[in-house]
C-alpha cells in the first residue's frame, strides 16, 4: 500500500484519515420521506449535468469501477484555487449512508499534488415527509502534499487555513443543491 494512502482500518466498518488536514460539514433539508431516499443510488446514477448543477465549481462528474469491481464516482471541481480530480471509491453503500474515499489529484497554480478525501453523506428523518442531509468532507495530507508545500515555501498552517475556508464555502454551496437533487430523484420514483 502506498504511503500516500492515509486511510487505516480502525474496526471492521470504520476508516479514518490519519493526518487530517481540514474537515467540513453542512446540512440541508430534503422534502421527501426517508423511505424514498437512497443516497448511494443517487451518487452512482448522478448525471454529469445534474452534478454540474449542484455547484458553480463542479466541472464534470461520472461513474466507473475500480480494478476490484467497486463503484467509483469520478468528479472534477474547483475548491479554492485548485482543480481537484476525485476518484471516489465506495466504502459504505447504504440507502441512508454513503461514504466514499478518494486519493485525489490537485492541480494548483504552483503545480500538481495529491490529497486524501473522505466524502460522507447521511440522511436522517426529521418528520414523516422530510429528512436532513448531512454532507461531511474530510481531507488528509499525503506525503506528496507535505512535500509540495515545502517545495513551494507554503507554511502548513497557512495552507490549512486557506483550504478550510475554501472547503467550507464549497460545501455550504453544494449541500443544499445535493439535497434538492436527491429530493427530485426520490419524488420522481414515486
**pLDDT tens, position by position, 116-173:** 999 999 999 999 999 999 999 999 999 999 999 999 999 999 999 999 999 999 999 9
| Residue 111 grid coordinates | 503545480
What is the pTM (predicted TM-score) of this model? Answer: 0.90
Architecture of domain 7-11+37-188: 2-Layer Sandwich (3.30)
Mean pLDDT, rounded, for 65-94:
96
CB atoms within 10 A of CB 56: 13
Instruction: Give the distance from CA 98 to its chain's centroid.
Output: 10
For the chain, the structural domain boundaries read 7-11+37-188
CB atoms within 10 A of CB 150: 11
- Is the pLDDT at 48 greater than 80? The verdict is yes
pLDDT, one tens digit per residue, over 146-156 is 999 999 999 99
Mean pLDDT, rounded, for 4-15:
41
Reduced to 3 states (helix: H, G, I; strand: E, B; else coil), residue 126 is coil
pLDDT for the residue numbered 190: 59
Amino acid at each position: 500500500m502506498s504511503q500516500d494512502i492515509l486511510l487505516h482500518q480502525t474496526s471492521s466498518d470504520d476508516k479514518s484519515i490519519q493526518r487530517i488536514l481540514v474537515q467540513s460539514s453542512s446540512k440541508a433539508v430534503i422534502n421527501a420521506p426517508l423511505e424514498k431516499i437512497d443516497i448511494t443510488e443517487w451518487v452512482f446514477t448522478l448525471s454529469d449535468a445534474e452534478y454540474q448543477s449542484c455547484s458553480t465549481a463542479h466541472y464534470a462528474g461520472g461513474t466507473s469501477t475500480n480494478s476490484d469491481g467497486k463503484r467509483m464516482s469520478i468528479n472534477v471541481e474547483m475548491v479554492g484555487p485548485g482543480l481537484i480530480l476525485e476518484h471516489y471509491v465506495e466504502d459504505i453503500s447504504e440507502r441512508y449512508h454513503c461514504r466514499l474515499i478518494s486519493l485525489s489529484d490537485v492541480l494548483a497554480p504552483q503545480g500538481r499534488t495529491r490529497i486524501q478525501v473522505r466524502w460522507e453523506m447521511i440522511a436522517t428523518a426529521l418528520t414523516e415527509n422530510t429528512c436532513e442531509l448531512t454532507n461531511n468532507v474530510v481531507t488528509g495530507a499525503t506525503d506528496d502534499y507535505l512535500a509540495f508545500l515545502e517545495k513551494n515555501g507554503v507554511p502548513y498552517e497557512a495552507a490549512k487555513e486557506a483550504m478550510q475556508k475554501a472547503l467550507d464555502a464549497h460545501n455550504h454551496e453544494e449541500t443544499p443543491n445535493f439535497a434538492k437533487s436527491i429530493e427530485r430523484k426520490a419524488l420522481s420514483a414515486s
